[in-house]
Structure 1
Amino acid sequence: MTERTTADAPLADLGFDPDALREKYRSERDRRIRPEGLGQYVRAAGEFGYYAKDPYTPRTERQPLTDRVDVLVVGGGFGGLLTGARLREAGFESVRMMDEAGDFGGTWYWNRYPGIQCDVESYVYLPLLEETGYVPRWRYAPGEEIRQHAVRIAEQYGLYRDAVFHTRVTELTWDERSAEWQVRTDRGDAMRARYVVVSSGTLTQPKLPGIPGIEDFRGHTFHTSRWDYGYTGGSADGGMTGLADKRVAVVGTGATGLQAVPHLARDAAHLYVMQRTPSSVDVRDNRPTDPEWAASLRPGWQKERMENFLAILAGEEVERDLVQDGWTATARLQRMMITGAVDTSLDPAERERLDELADFATMNRIRARVDEVVDDPATAEALKPWYRYMCKRPGFSDTYLQAYNRPNVSLVDTADHGGITRMTANAVVVGEDEYAVDCVIFATGFEVGVSGVVSGTLPVYGRGGRTLLEAWGRGPRTLHGFYSHGFPNLFHLAALQNANSVNFVHILSEQADHIAAVLARAHETGAHHVEPAREAEQGWCDTIVETAVDNSAFLAECTPGYYNGEGTRRATPRSYSPGPVAFHRLLAEWRAGDMNDVLVGAGAATADTTADETSAEGRA
């Protein structure tokens, strides 16, 4: 290599050419961009609705409910469970949990595909470990262990009491006279709730690729989030004897594909992996929990470990790294995309230069690992990720790359064709090549960041009959991400105008703590309802914009994915950019005050509620 010197550094010192890598990244991005963006996917609804049905729990018929509860929590994943648990601790007895699934668990209820596990260390991911007296069996827990922990929380905190499953809220309407929400569901319920907490999640609605001819395929198909063990046999641990004589195509090589492919490779007669964009695959290094380590834990250990992990990823100073895994080792590369927190002590241009060089080095190491593991050079080349580290959610596996060394596994790179070209009655077609298969499994993910409230599938009518979508016509409007003016006693758990982290359960835990504290204060003070003043809401919206870190240029250079709306989305500030640690500190300081921004006294009206705003009762 020549000694040419660039603005970055002498190339001989770097060991790579930054300009060449930038050009390679752009060319690989351009191979994959499709002009329709997110339009290339279809919802698992209508003619594809069978992809979204519950294959795990039989639906039980019941009579419609017309009763009243103090708090309705919509969503039985960890956000809803944590909220229910904290409400119980705060003394709330009349709490109803509701979910479209047949039990608690959220995304861990739906996703039971072979090899499923969490990619965040279980000791910081699974909430309420000390409270429930449980230590995970594995460093990175398998999905069933996580689902069972969700059930454990629900049982310990009495959340099955009054819970309703296989039930979807179809309408929320604020009744001004009773200061309650009227709740309609797809089971004919017409219940009432003083407070409603929406934690319906953003990783539950599966999406499918809009492949021409998908409806013509006469073989077997299913989405990974509704795994059909009746067809494959086996369990999440593998042993899928039903595939022993089957040619299988799996579509998608994101986090789900990384976990499912090794099991499919072992059990199928032949496996075709349909890849448009390879994931970065670093070492996972999973292992059973050390009994001696577990026995040495002292009270407060989980909170300390969670906060340490969050702080490292947010760029906070810590004495030592308690987790020491792939996430904490690459914390610097994650901050702009995940937490929003960046090193403001550096000039922005210098920070970007140093971050990019560190990014190049990390991705070069990950690409070199592909060559070390995969035997076939052509396959290895196709598996290399040519993009910045946080253009896609990083992947970790100790078995995925190794699967391509099996003679019954074929990697089909679809990048030059924008994905799968079409499907026929018995084949998947890429370009001019047909791959005859018996089964197609879609590992194509979910509608990320699109809850029912945001999409409009859960209509919300606030004061005067105004819809939440109308109020949010130009983007979310909240105070601290939790509640909006004109929609009393309605709370949201999400990353919108709130905080974010790779360990989102920690974020949900802080949100649950906050909501429980606000409702406890409302009860103590006899507040008529909880609703932010318009000025407080506007002030927070201004704060989100004023503190935002612009990552538009970064996203524009990324390969298409859900982070950048498949290459078509402009960046808009959605979370509190100073990061989750700063945000949680801000919330704690706010809670230490009088909460007058949101607590409205009995019989009082908010300052800008006018007399001509009519009750929405007639809509019910």
Structure 2
Amino acid sequence: MPGPHSSSDATSPTDPSEPGFDPEVLRARYRAERDRRIRPEGGSQYQQATGRFGYYDEDPYAEAAPPREPLHDRVEVVVIGGGFGGLLAGARLRQAGVDSIRVIEKGGDFGGTWYWNRYPGIHCDIESYIYLPLLEEVGYVPKWKYAPGEEIRQHARAIGRTFDLYRDAVFRTRVTALRWDEDASEWLVTTDRGDRMRARYVVTASGTLSEAKLPGIAGIETFQGHTFHTSRWDYAYTGGDAGGNLHKLADKRVALIGTGATAIQCVPHLGADAHHLYVFQRTPSSVDVRGNRPTDPDWAASLSPGWQQRRRDNFLALVTGGRVTEDLVDDGWTSSARLQQKLIPSDGYRALPPEERERAYEMADFQKMNEIRARVDALVTDPRTAELLKPWYRYMCKRPTFSDSYLETFNRTDVTLVDTADSHGVERITEHAVVVGDTAYEVDCIIFGTGFEVGRSGITSGRLPVHGRGGVALTDAWQEGPRTLHGFYSHDFPNLFQLGPLQNASAVNFVHVLDEQATHVAEVVAEARATQARYVDPAPEAEAAWVDTIREKAADLYAFQAECTPGYYNNEGMPRKRSEAYGDGPVAFHALLREWRANGGMSEVLVDAERDRA
């Protein structure tokens, strides 16, 4: 399927002696724009949707949880989380021969992010043919290059049916604690429904975009109008559905706070249907061409077995600096592949001498961002509004976005862009208005598009207490920093597997990463079952060696991120000194796992009765 992008777009700089712009001028502008937006409190400018704001975390898509008797039974594997991570863990474990699998999910069905987020315009921003997992196993080809949210949610449900994961699943249930029972060699899993179930293995896949956050704006609790978070869209108030037609907003003045990836998709619908839309922006997103289109049925019919894995591998190689004979995906991600290594480095990142590498990256980055800013001028008619919508920062300072209708929405007379950079965000909220500077914008509804707590799961934050051997809490064991082998398991926390980005390798197509992780976990569990191991627990020396490897290979991105505009990539302008990612990148990491499994690595984690490390 030919795409709208060339694989060389904006990644191969022209002669640096004739760039057509002054790098020093751009650097100065970037620094000035960053400084306008940095807040000294960093990430603490946000608050959790808990306590008095707990209603922002309620489930608007399912009836109140029906009463049921607490479960006091035993299963072989408990999987915490019913998003793609949990579904992949369940599917790969099922393929490995595990029959007794219980997925525990706080939502009313499978889907995770795609269960909760149903805002108008929602689509994946990674090509659906590589983003949606297990397409060949389920027997499905997405209908669009970038699938809408409902299609993705239905695919998640199809995975649940295909792998019989509904059979023992429990929904509308939140795990409250995990405690290892040494005598029984199993986990006691307790929940908010009174369950005290037992499991030989526990896989946590609760995600890193599961906890909505709200801005800590003064007076937020005093507003007398209607409010909701984009991850709990209130269609009873707006009317319509994810396709738009928000007809109940026809007489409503609406404020949207936040201009990240969610806003890029919902703003066109809000702008079309609200009486007036005010978009409150602290930092503009970079918005490139989307170019979505229906799937070509002839192309779909031509696919041969193994097509999805080949396509995913092709994409992953490209966006991490590898070389391929053909760009199969051919979109905005692959065309900007070189620039993405400023966020997710790979072994190719070190191929050039540091000074030469940094200059080449920076020049290519300037060129790409100049194109992004030129696109704003081409699409937005009012020069002042266009200037406010231009992103003045390096390409990977914020997650790139793609849309063919967002920028054009600001040409409407009933849409107002309110820039809040100089006030470091909205200053306060009153009973009827959102206040910035000397202006109070009276509105009937405030929608918070302020995202999620990124990179923190319930386990790493301590909200889900975990106690391993000897009753030791995981948060205590990690007081001086995370300690894992390959990011999956920690010494003295037997049979506990964690899926996620910690001490392994990430990628922009994170579902591909989750599939590699789920496959690894399933193979380790299968080997433990086959050899009748007492449990899976990494040797302390293997764990220590991996932590040393993470430290040794971690790319030093501090200087780059410190220059970035604040956002969740750089901890709101307060970048962390130390990376917990595998510095050679995901392709090398996945190869390392395969080699480890094939060459006796499991001896580092499988413990039998004679070799118990107690």
Distance 1:206 1:143, change over 3 A: same
Of 25, 28, 49, which residue of structure 1 is paired with 2:33?
A: 28
Partner in structure 2 of residue 528 of structure 1: 534
Paired with 1:384 and 1:369, the residues of 2 have a C-alpha distance of 9
2:420 corresponds to 1:414: yes
2:294 corresponds to 1:288: yes
In the alignment, structure 2 segments of 5+ residues that lack a partner are 1-12
Contact 1:335 1:342 in 2 (8 A): no
Contact 1:374 1:401 in 2 (8 A): yes
* 1:307-326 equivalence runs, <5 A: 307-326=313-332
Amino acid at match of 1:360: F
Partner in structure 1 of residue 105 of structure 2: 99
Of 380, 388, 391, which residue of structure 1 is paired with 2:397?
A: 391
Contact 1:339 1:501 in 2 (8 A): no
Amino acid at match of 1:469: T
Contact 2:321 2:346 in 1 (8 A): no
Could you tell me the percent identity over the aligned residues? 65
Question: Residue 578 of structure 1: CA displacement?
Answer: 0.3
Question: Residue 494 of structure 1: CA displacement?
Answer: 0.5
Partner in structure 1 of residue 6 of structure 2: none
Question: Residue 316 of structure 1: CA displacement?
Answer: 1.5
Amino acid at match of 2:38: I
Partner in structure 1 of residue 3 of structure 2: none
Paired with 1:120 and 1:55, the residues of 2 have a C-alpha distance of 27
Paired with 2:481 and 2:151, the residues of 1 have a C-alpha distance of 37
Of 42, 45, 48, which residue of structure 1 is paired with 2:50?
A: 45
Of 454, 463, 486, which residue of structure 1 is paired with 2:492?
A: 486
Partner in structure 1 of residue 270 of structure 2: 264
Paired with 1:397 and 1:571, the residues of 2 have a C-alpha distance of 34
2:200 corresponds to 1:194: yes
2:612 corresponds to 1:605: yes
Paired with 1:535 and 1:88, the residues of 2 have a C-alpha distance of 31
Post-superposition Cα deviations, 1:55-98, rounded to whole Å, max 9, x if no partner, equal 00112221110000000000000011011001111111110000
Partner in structure 1 of residue 124 of structure 2: 118
Partner in structure 2 of residue 4 of structure 1: none
Of 246, 251, 254, which residue of structure 1 is paired with 2:257?
A: 251
Partner in structure 1 of residue 561 of structure 2: 555
Post-superposition Cα deviations, 1:338-395, rounded to whole Å, max 9, x if no partner, equal 2444432210111000000000000000000000000000000000000000000001
Q: SS of the residue aligned with 1:13?
A: coil
Partner in structure 2 of residue 496 of structure 1: 502
Partner in structure 1 of residue 387 of structure 2: 381
Paired with 1:88 and 1:9, the residues of 2 have a C-alpha distance of 51
Paired with 1:497 and 1:516, the residues of 2 have a C-alpha distance of 19
Paired with 1:43 and 1:528, the residues of 2 have a C-alpha distance of 40
Contact 1:74 1:99 in 2 (8 A): yes
Distance 1:266 1:129, change over 3 A: same
Partner in structure 2 of residue 466 of structure 1: 472
Q: SS of the residue aligned with 1:563?
A: helix
- How many residue pairs match? The answer is 600
471-480 vs 243-252, greater mean Cα deviation: 471-480
Paired with 1:310 and 1:196, the residues of 2 have a C-alpha distance of 29
CA RMSD between the two structures: 1.1
Paired with 2:604 and 2:379, the residues of 1 have a C-alpha distance of 57
Question: Residue 329 of structure 1: CA displacement?
Answer: 0.4
Q: SS of the residue aligned with 2:603?
A: coil
Contact 1:11 1:17 in 2 (8 A): no
Amino acid at match of 1:306: R
Paired with 2:330 and 2:274, the residues of 1 have a C-alpha distance of 36
Q: SS of the residue aligned with 1:537?
A: helix
Post-superposition Cα deviations, 1:485-505, rounded to whole Å, max 9, x if no partner, equal 010000000110111000000
Of 178, 181, 188, which residue of structure 2 is paired with 1:182?
A: 188
Q: SS of the residue aligned with 1:14?
A: coil
Post-superposition Cα deviations, 1:446-474, rounded to whole Å, max 9, x if no partner, equal 00011000110100000011100011112
2:29 corresponds to 1:15: no
Paired with 1:416 and 1:604, the residues of 2 have a C-alpha distance of 63
Contact 2:462 2:475 in 1 (8 A): yes
Amino acid at match of 1:596: S
Please report the TM-score for the alignment, with normalisation by the length of structure 2. Answer: 0.97
Question: Residue 10 of structure 1: CA displacement?
Answer: 8.5
2:158 corresponds to 1:152: yes
Paired with 1:313 and 1:377, the residues of 2 have a C-alpha distance of 34
Paired with 2:347 and 2:118, the residues of 1 have a C-alpha distance of 34
Partner in structure 1 of residue 439 of structure 2: 433
Distance 1:300 1:365, change over 3 A: same
Amino acid at match of 2:448: F
Post-superposition Cα deviations, 1:560-600, rounded to whole Å, max 9, x if no partner, equal 00011111132322111101000000000000023100000
In the alignment, structure 1 segments of 5+ residues that lack a partner are 1-7, 610-620
2:456 corresponds to 1:450: yes
Post-superposition Cα deviations, 1:126-165, rounded to whole Å, max 9, x if no partner, equal 0011111100000000111000000000001000011001
Contact 1:339 1:580 in 2 (8 A): no
2:95 corresponds to 1:89: yes
Contact 2:105 2:174 in 1 (8 A): yes
Distance 1:150 1:9, change over 3 A: closer
Of 217, 227, 230, which residue of structure 1 is paired with 2:223?
A: 217
Contact 2:16 2:363 in 1 (8 A): no
Paired with 2:553 and 2:298, the residues of 1 have a C-alpha distance of 45
Contact 2:345 2:555 in 1 (8 A): no
Paired with 1:302 and 1:416, the residues of 2 have a C-alpha distance of 47
Q: SS of the residue aligned with 2:94?
A: helix
